[in-house]
Amino acid sequence: MTSATSSRPRAAIILAAGQGTRMKSALPKVLHPVAGMALLGHVIAAVRAAGVARIVVVAAPGGDAVRAYAEGAGCAVAVQDRQLGTGHAARAAAPALEGFDGDVVVAFGDSPLTTAQTFARAFDGAAASGLGLVTFRPKGGGAYGRIVLDAQGRFDRIVEYKDASAEERAIDLCNAGILAADAQKLFGWAARLTSDNAQCEYYLTDVPALAKADGAAPALIEVAEEEALGVNSRGELAAAERIMQDRLRAGFMAAGVGLTAPETVYLSHDTVIEPDVTIEPFVVIAAGVTIRGGARIRSHSHLEGCDIASGAIIGPFARLRPGAKIGQDAHIGNFVEVKNTTIEAGAKANHLTYLGDAHVGAKANIGAGTITCNYDGFTKAKTEIGAGAFIGSDTALVAPVTVGAGAITAAGSVITKDVPADALAIARGQQSEKPGWAKAFRTRKQQEKK
């Protein structure tokens, strides 16, 4: 990740007081997830990776969920009592950064695609000229603030779209909303803002012109349009997800991970995959997954909170739930669900099985239809299956129960007592035959029908 290039301390103000009404959701907008992490979490991670040590999240009054999330992530929270604009919101962070001697970047909590590199460039701009301002050129124009240049092609001011003339609206260079400057100078400029404009708001975007007047000519940093994408609606949330997924896929492929159909594989912000893992089409990887080199994840598998060792084969149609630890060269096949269970090296559970709260020894073989009965409606209990054990098809293992190493359970058994090592356990109804009964039955039924 990008590291700090100037030695001045770095802070960030993340604006998150917006109501997000267009999401039509009980969940605050900045807490909606992209790649399994809240929008706000992405911004926090990106500014940290740009060398930021202190973060102030600006929340609306009553924004308890946002406050809890921000504090949980080690940020301070400032409340903006009324939403009077982005400049007003930045001002609300001033008490939290009182006496802070360093540079601060202002970012938006609903823009999860801004990279650490962009924040680092904004800080570099602040170090070089007094203020770093992030810009972009949106293909479709859009209602963004326009960057007005002077006759010499230097920064003059930002004009908000609603305040802009037709000529200004035709400018293609737009404000991404991110700027960095010395913290105390920024608060000084923000204190001088007025709300004398079309929206009667205190615009943060008037700060660069004030900086310029003070001799801090803004350094313009241009980034790709996607970095400036703000999420205001479900559609934009889905667009952000698409872009984030593409970034994650591209990153893993560049690092040596094989994705047969990358556009069908869904990853999480914290996914760890080593080189030479192959992932077949239509795999969903939720939070907390690590996959070691040489493992293969076959189609239509769903993985969450699990560790997969090298050489293991998962799926097709496998479900690994939190606490699943799959050993080297182990196989987990179709319609097998594994939860809070360790499968040691070389063990196999290839078909139609539930393994919950269990430990499966090395090279054990779990037959089709095996179920660990781990829950009695009140508490969970453990199943221990020894190394090299052979669990016959359709065995129900009523936990707590232990099957010793090398033991065999007969198909269809309901195992309620521990099975010693190398023993055979049979726990099923006895079979009896009635010779000729079926034929006699058919004859009788056919006669009844006549």
Residue with Cβ nearer Mg ion (230 or 392): 230
The residue among 109 and 327 lying less far from Mg ion, judged by its C-beta, is 109
Minimum distance of ligand UD1 from residue 158's CB (angstroms): 6
Q: What is the DSSP letter of 347?
A: -
Task: Determine, following the binding rule CB under 6 A, whether residue 17 of this chain makes contact with ligand UD1.
Answer: yes
Residue 271 within binding range of ligand UD1, rule CB under 6 A: no
The single residue of 269, 300, 302, 351 carrying the catalytic annotation is: 351
Identify the burial level of 174 via C-beta atoms within 10 angstroms of its C-beta, where 0-12 means exposed, 13-18 middle and 19 or more buried.
Answer: buried
* 324 lies in the site for ligand UD1, by CB under 6 A: no
Of 230, 262, 315, 356, the residue at the interface with Mg ion (CB under 5 A) is 230
Minimal distance in Å, beta carbon 55 to ligand UD1? 14
Q: State in angstroms the smallest separation of the CB of 382 from Mg ion.
A: 52
Shortest Å, Cβ 232 to Mg ion: 6
Judge whether 302 counts as a catalytic residue.
no
CB 58 within 8 A of CB 14: yes
86 forms part of the interface with ligand UD1 (CB under 6 A): yes
Spatial separation of the C-alpha atoms in residues 204 and 9, rounded to whole Å: 22
Separation of alpha carbons 136 and 134, rounded Å: 7
Selected binder of ligand UD1 within 58, 133, 291, 318 (CB under 6 A)? 58
Q: Which of 84, 127, 179, 326 binds ligand UD1 (CB under 6 A)?
A: 84
Contacts of 404 (CB under 8 A, 6+ apart): 386, 389, 418, 419, 420, 421, 422, 423
Minimum CB separation from ligand UD1 for residue 135, in Å?
9
Q: Hunting for tokens 């608060």 — which residue is that?
A: 187
Between helix 116-129 and helix 39-49 the angle, nearest 10°, is 50
Residues 174-233, interacting with ligand UD1 (CB under 6 A) = 174-177, 203-205, 228, 230
Measured from the CB atom, the residue of 87 and 230 that comes closer to Mg ion is: 230
Q: What is the DSSP string of 130-177?
A: SEEEEEE--TT--SPPEEEE-TTS-EEEEE-GGG--HHHHT---EEEE
Q: Which two tokens stand for residue 77?
A: 């929270």
As to burial, measured by CB atoms within 10 angstroms (0-12 exposed, 13-18 middle, 19+ buried), residue 101 is exposed
Nearest one of 207, 195, 179, 203 to 87, comparing CA atoms: 203
Of the two residues 107 and 285, which places its CB atom closer to ligand UD1 in the complex?
107
Q: Which is nearer to ligand UD1, 207 or 364 (CB)?
A: 207
89 is an interface residue for ligand UD1 by CB under 6 A: yes
Q: Pick the stretch among 132-140, 166-174, 230-238, 339-347 that binds Mg ion (CB under 5 A).
A: 230-238
Is 144 near ligand UD1 (CB under 6 A)? yes
15 binds ligand UD1 (CB under 6 A): yes
Q: Is 254 helix (H, G, I), strand (E, B) or coil?
A: helix
Tokens of 283: 């795999």
Q: Give the integer Cα–Cα distance in Å for 278 and 297.
A: 6
What are the residues binding ligand UD1 (CB under 6 A)? 15-18, 58, 80, 83-86, 88-89, 108-110, 144-145, 158, 160, 174-177, 203-205, 228, 230
Known catalytic residues are: 351
